[in-house]
A = this chain, B = another copy of it.
């Protein structure tokens, strides 16, 4: 069923049918009705690709993900896709992985598909190769990064203030009477240093800078939690609270504390980061920093559609993290 088929059946020209479909003026009510009935009857839907050809807008948005299986990423993708759909956009989702080469390749694919804009999900896309590829192939289209920032004239970034979040965690622990607060972290990513600064900010705020106790671990896994917890209870028995830079590590810490029969939160309070699925089902359930994935995604999608309709938008937006208090505090 093409527009011509409908036109023939209605005894009018294709242009008239097109004008009816797009609600353009200058069509007699009678013919409009006649055409509309035919459209319904034959269940006609316009070919969006053909439309895109002449309109120079495909209503397609490329969504680049590092790993869709990562629950934070899929949470973002979920709200982004939903919001975009509300505005009539379709989401072309590509799993680009963590290799910059593959990311660049994916950007090429999106260029070929003539997407109207790009959404980058996850901070993994903050690298030179991606930046170069975007500069070369997407300089005229809005690029929005959910959970990160790129310094390009057409790029927009939404991120959560992790530094402030960790500072809040320190506040909370302080308010619970904790004075010896340790920090377990795998230093390496920019984000981990942000968190570290937040930890230092928090301590400083309460005059606890002298008590700083950073335990570095090799990864951000549950096993790293084991390692961190053992070091903690072994070498620093005076510690009464610990902030883990990731929920998964908090999970490991809790496991060890349970085994050693150390009471949570009275003897030792635990705070995680990221509000992951583990936090809720853990025993005891984990107090954690909400990563604001839904808000980030919503905001990112909104900025994208707004840019697409010509509005001016700020290039960098910070969201504040909030604490999700549960049993470990």
B contact residues around A75 at 8 Å (CB): 69
Kindly list 18 other residue pairs between chains A and B, CB separation below 8 angstroms, not including A67-B78, A92-B93, A248-B281. Answer: A43-B137, A45-B112, A47-B114, A49-B58, A49-B113, A68-B68, A68-B81, A69-B75, A69-B78, A71-B74, A81-B94, A85-B94, A85-B109, A90-B94, A90-B113, A222-B281, A255-B283, A277-B278
Q: Are the CB atoms of A78 and B53 closer together than 8 Å?
A: no
B contact residues around A260 at 8 Å (CB): none
Q: Are the CB atoms of A78 and B68 closer together than 8 Å?
A: yes
Q: Are the CB atoms of A81 and B53 closer together than 8 Å?
A: no
Q: Are the CB atoms of B93 and A91 closer together than 8 Å?
A: yes
The CA-CA distance from A62 to B77 in the complex, in Å, is 16
Report, as a range, how many residues of chain A touch the other chain: 35 or more
Q: Please tell me if A136 contacts chain B, counting CB pairs below 8 Å.
A: yes
Q: Please tell me if A141 contacts chain B, counting CB pairs below 8 Å.
A: no
The CA-CA distance from A253 to B179 in the complex, in Å, is 36
B contact residues around A90 at 8 Å (CB): 92, 94, 109, 113
B contact residues around A49 at 8 Å (CB): 49, 52-53, 58, 113-114
Mark each residue of chain A from 46 to 74: 1 if its CB lies under 8 Å from any CB of chain B, else 0. 11111011000010000000011101001
Q: Are the CB atoms of A47 and B112 closer together than 8 Å?
A: yes
The CA-CA distance from A25 to B282 in the complex, in Å, is 64
Q: Are the CB atoms of A258 and B283 closer together than 8 Å?
A: yes
Q: Are the CB atoms of A71 and B71 closer together than 8 Å?
A: yes
Q: Are the CB atoms of B69 and A74 closer together than 8 Å?
A: yes
